[in-house]
Copies of this chain bind each other. A is one copy, B any other.
């Protein structure tokens, strides 16, 4: 199986996608190729041996082979010919905009390219934190209470401390925790820089947080449960380092019964929606009840550090990708109308 990793793109998380891709190169022990989508959305084929962060930050990637996207895949132009980039499955590794908002899923589905990553609908569900709440509720999983603010609004009624998040970003970008009114306006302005809509939730200091990654192969495959280390919460700088992790971490020190409960909740979220993706669900446990904090449908370097045999997990997922049903169009209605008109 030959995989191609696509990363970068027009996203606030462009740089962590680069780090994530470099990391994946080290941990996914398979035949790999790499496609970089730059901030202008031009595609380049990157020689695996050149996968260093400097290639991208220096702009030197522009010397690599430019690609274009069309039916069936990515192509290089050479003289009068077009040469297809050969791979079996594309791995969507674009965090944030383009990759997690549904655009890449749309492009790859439209152009018939098999890919690992959330579907169009699953992307939108997990990218918009409000939709995630609606979805969790439908599936019988609690989430924190919230208020949704539109750009220009500064009134909240949730008591301090609160956590303020741009509605549609990941990786803690634009997120603030504030404990008093005097900090509110600035924190909201920061969040409004990234989104016209902002979500406010109560901030629960010391809340128990557990991350569980997984996917559906023949059966569900789960990672270990991780209790993320945090100082109040992970800011972007710290999370950034998170995307380059390659060593397996230890299972959180929790009862097996809790692990089982987390897995049950993971399945409730994944089933009939996230097939084809390897996702990480971030849960809270409050008063012995499980809450969904967020769904990360393209976790940093695919959360490789939570799995014992990461490469095999990707192989098994590859055999169970989501495919779109092709509709055959027979023009029956138009023929009938033409007949009725005597044409």
Contact = CB atoms under 8 A, between A and B. Distances in A.
A242 to B, nearest CB: 13
Interface of A: 10-12, 14-16, 18-19, 39-42, 53-54, 56-57, 68-71, 97-98, 101-103, 105-107, 109-112, 120-121, 124, 128, 130-131, 134-135, 138, 148, 150, 196-197, 237, 240, 272, 326-329, 331-335, 337-338, 343
B128 A138 contact: no
Contacts of A329: 14-15, 39
Nearest to A16: B333
Contacts of A105: 106
13 contacts: A10-B326, A15-B331, A39-B327, A54-B343, A57-B331, A68-B70, A101-B120, A102-B120, A102-B121, A106-B106, A106-B110, A134-B134, A197-B272
Given A41-B71, A105-B106, A107-B110, 4 more contacts: A10-B326, A11-B327, A15-B332, A41-B111
Contact of A124 (B124, B138, B196, B331): B124
A134 B124 contact: no
B128 A134 contact: no
Contacts of A10: 326-327
Given A134-B134, A272-B196, A326-B10, A56 B331 contact: yes
Nearest to A96: B327
B240 A333 contact: yes
Contacts of A19: 334
A194 B337 CA distance: 24
B106 A57 contact: no
Nearest to A39: B329
Q: 8 smallest A-B Cβ distances: which pairs?
A: A106-B106, A57-B331, A134-B134, A103-B106, A39-B329, A124-B124, A57-B334, A53-B334
Given A121-B124, A272-B196, A334 B56 contact: yes
A323 to B, nearest CB: 12
Contacts of A120: 101-103, 106, 124
Pick from A14, A124, A272 the residue with the most CB of B within 10 Å. Answer: A124
Nearest to A8: B329
A97 B327 contact: yes
A334 B18 contact: yes
A130 B138 contact: yes
Contacts of A41: 71, 110-112
A304 to B, nearest CB: 19
A10 to B, nearest CB: 6
Interface centre among A54, A103, A197, A272 (most CB of B within 10 A): A103
Nearest to A134: B134
A329 B11 CA distance: 8
Contacts of A150: 272
A102 B124 contact: yes
A11 B329 CA distance: 8
B53 A337 contact: yes
Nearest to A68: B70
Contacts of A111: 41
